[in-house]
Structure 1
Amino acid sequence: MTEQAESIRLERCVIVLDEQLPAGRAANAAAVLALTAGQRHPGLVGLPLTDASGQAHPGLIPIGIAVLSATEEELGAIHRQANASEGVDVVDFPVQGQMTTNYGEFMAVVAQIPAGELRYLGLALVGQKKAIAKLVAKKKLFG
């Protein structure tokens, strides 16, 4: 976890996906982003749940996760603005992530693309409610 990620107040978590993604690819992108956001911010996981029979269930995120949609251009703009914002951690999923099942190949391809030229399937934004609200204002739920 980065120093910046450690210092962020965990008030909101939002995933923004490319509105053109078909359902299966959107589900994959959201799962990848959520898993990485959870690893970077263990505080996103709530306390275990216990049912009436006394059986324990893993804790879930107590602040919820909105899954929103944006155009490819909007994703790029949100990414740039989020990286420049205080109180927001960004997990990004470049389009190359769904072009191969080999993580080494994925890393090699991304390593050849300048940051400003990367295109994204989705972003996870974690942090302060007000800062994230500014970034995703007027975005609709995915689907």
Structure 2
Amino acid sequence: MERVLVPSGAPPPVRRALTRAEGQFDAFSAKGFARGTMAEMCITWPSEGTAKPYRSTGVFPDVPVLVLAADLDANTSVASGGAAARQFKRSTLVTVPNMGHVADYNPSGCVASLVTAFIRTGAVGDTTCLKAIPPIKVHPVRGSHD
């Protein structure tokens, strides 16, 4: 069985979820799952030798697809997530409240549990834990012009 390579910057709940799920990634290798769902992929993309951007043919496989859209994501909007989800017959769009670009990093472990459930079963399951994700505390910054 392949050992899970948990990214060093992952919050503890994500680290625990990946470690607990070792060997249960179905069609994915543990390394592919851990690296393919974490921010490290975005930071180094596109790397040298990366293929040119894919131009959609509009023909997509008929497979279960999970699209996570974080409501505070400044890079990819919830509307863009919805547009991506609509291209697949069996997609599920989950909007994650109070999170930015990498919703998987939610420290409660809620999003990681939804992803794990989806990989194991092809369905998201109960999403009520999303309601417990607290708002991000924002503190005003006052400049010298105040």
Larger Rg belongs to: 2
Smaller-chain TM-score bracket: under 0.3
Q: Higher relative CO (CA 8 A, sep ≥ 6), structure 1 or 2?
A: 1
Normalized against structure 1, the TM-score is what? Answer: 0.26
More strand by share: 1
Normalized against structure 2, the TM-score is what? Answer: 0.26
More helix by share: 1
